[in-house]
Amino acid sequence: MVGIAAWGAYAPRLRLSRKAVTEANAWVAPNLRAKAKGERSMANWDEDALTMAVEAARDALGVTDEGRAGVDALYFASTTAPFVDRQNAGIVAAALTLEKAIASADVTGSQRCGLAALGQALAAVKGGSAARALVVAGEHRRARAASSQELDNGDGAAAFVVSAEAGAAEFLGRGSVTDDFVDHFRGADAGFDYSWEERWIRDEGIVKLVPPAVRAALQNAGLSPAEVTHFCFPSVFGGMAASLAKSLGIAPEAVRDNLALTLGEAGCAHGPLMLAHALEQAAPGDVVLVAQFGQGAEALVFRVTEAAAQAHPARGVTGSLLDRRAEENYLKFLTFNGLVEWDKGMRAEKDNKTALTTLYRNQDQILGLVGGRCRETGVVQFPRTRISVAPNNPAVDTQEPYRFAERRASVLSYSADYLTFSMSPPNHYGMIVFEGGGRIMMDITDVEPGEVDSGLPVKMVFRVKDVDEKRGFVRYFWKAAPDRAAIAAQAAQAAE
């Protein structure tokens, strides 16, 4: 028996208005007005497929050490990973402070690679080669300005913890089809996808390749199509999931909302996102079928258990959809995605070369935000040093690792700086103090001018620090972001 023990999800807070995009491009692409409805998730300038995957994983694992305990395999799925020749899963593992002994792999090359990674993890745990596997899928796809993909796409991530027990959702069956049907492609040196004609993709691709995978999964599970309670199939083609369900004999009411109007289509992460959303809303005994198309098709079947009610993540897809801020500035979207050249000023003219030796030697501090705690005095600090900062007791070599990433914190003092370079001015940074001790000078992200003040509750988020454009190296670190749940709780308590 094998299944999903926990799950998590993440979508950026910014939601780009499709109406704003179509109005800005009406002069050159008036046909886009048909796609003006709703909004799509929009990554902040310091977010990418990897940082979003880390946040989804943190949602799945929770804030305690128990969630991370026993994870001995990690799969990272994305077609937009920041590195081609550096294992992205290794960065995820370091950010999550997982054990060095875990097995890890990057899974890529197809829009169905998110479900493929989940299927591989389920097979590994079922076969005994892994005891507890973490699967993360993240996507941040760029598209040409004034294209339909720019409106259809969305940014997001999902994560699952696979265990040898049934957990929240018992795995019942899997079906796969591999066929080099090229609906779109992106060459090694290309910045954007090249897509083929929609009717060809729909009629010759999806309609013919997805049903065999679904039927194989149901046969493997010993179920009939009529027993499916939730059918998850992402597609930018309206009514595609309903058409598939009808041809397969799945009840029309089982077809899930594909989140097109509220999130967009998150590439290889979208099937996993729909699965996570279904698990949040399903009842015990419900059968969830998730399928995705991409050079063939992948289909997985699960049965929701009684344990699902206790496995709900703190954020999940539901929380991600609620935590939103409308963005009407289309030029900001273009700038964040590197689609326009703009004058960054002389203060941006610096060499961001990373000393890889220093990064490696301080990996847990830089990627995992691990500081130190003095065994003699209990004083915590960041960074960790040989000599403790404890007042009147500068003990030597007494510090043990101490994780800051999951600690509650607040702003002690801050600056909103228009003079230093920032991708989203003003540049917010300040002194962050943590419950239990310790303070760090950090960047503050996901805020607007006037939103930051002393005492603001914040949480730690894993983000892009900066990019070495000369060498193509992305540097990551942790930043402070408003803890909106804590802020709401404070407001409710004050109202009482």
Domain ranges for the chain, please list them: 3-336, 346-369+404-495
Q: Identify the band that residue 491 occupies on the pLDDT scale cut at 50, 70 and 90.
A: confident
Average pLDDT value for the chain: 96
- Given a cut of 90, whether residue 347 has pLDDT beyond it is no
Residue of 489, 409, 406 whose CA lies nearest to 442? 409
Coil, strand, or helix at residue 89? helix
Contact in structure between 463 and 428 (CB atoms under 8 Å): no
- Given a cut of 90, whether residue 42 has pLDDT beyond it is yes
Which tens digit of pLDDT belongs to each residue from 438-458?
999 999 999 999 999 999 999
Give the architecture (CATH level 2) of 3-336: 3-Layer(aba) Sandwich (3.40)
- Residue 493 is predicted with a pLDDT of 84
Residue with tokens 């940014």: 155
Residue 256 corresponds to which tokens in the numbers above? 């899930």
Bridge partner residues of 138 (DSSP): 157
CB atoms within 10 A of CB 87: 15
- Given a cut of 80, whether residue 496 has pLDDT beyond it is no
Which tens digit of pLDDT belongs to each residue from 166-214?
999 999 999 999 999 999 999 998 999 999 999 999 999 999 999 999 9
Residue of 327, 267, 324, 320 whose CA lies nearest to 21? 327
Question: Is this prediction's pTM over 0.85?
Answer: yes
Which tens digit of pLDDT belongs to each residue from 227-268?
999 999 999 999 999 999 999 999 999 999 999 999 999 999
- Given a cut of 90, whether residue 489 has pLDDT beyond it is no
Long-range contacts of 481-488 (CB under 8 A, 24+ apart): 481/444, 481/445, 481/446, 481/447, 482/446, 482/447, 482/451, 482/456, 482/457, 482/458, 483/408, 483/457, 483/458, 483/459, 484/323, 485/314, 486/408, 486/457, 486/459, 487/456, 487/457
CA 115: distance to chain centroid?
Answer: 14
- Residue 49 is predicted with a pLDDT of 98
- Residue 67 is predicted with a pLDDT of 85
- Given a cut of 90, whether residue 293 has pLDDT beyond it is yes
DSSP letter, residue 444: B
